[in-house]
Amino acid sequence: MNLNYSKPINEDLVNYFKEYTTNLDVAKSCEIHGVGFHTLRRLRTGDIPVSNEKNENAIKELMRLAIINADSKILKAKKCKKDVQKILDLV
């Protein structure tokens, strides 16, 4: 997938990043791809266009981290549901 360098990321992706990435994830991606923290933070919130391959690669890394984080939240939610159901069954 190639992002449009002349445009910011789309609103759906901005919302996914808000929900499923942290500043620590941004820092990890910055370190891997050599992008400044504030640049990637602004890319993540859709404030600036992607503009080059280095930024694109950093955004793609954030996407990978968002997937990992989303999977973790799903597992936690399933455990919560199971645990709460056990408690409810005992009441």
What pLDDT does 8 receive?
96
C-alpha span between 37 and 43 (Å, rounded) = 10
What pLDDT does 1 receive?
61
Residue 29, burial from CB neighbour count under 10 angstroms (0-12, 13-18, 19+): buried
In a structure prediction context, what are the per-residue pLDDT tens digits for the chain, which is 91 residues long? 678 999 999 999 999 999 999 999 999 999 999 999 999 999 999 999 999 999 999 999 999 999 999 999 999 999 999 999 999 999 8
What pLDDT does 61 receive?
97
What pLDDT does 3 receive?
87
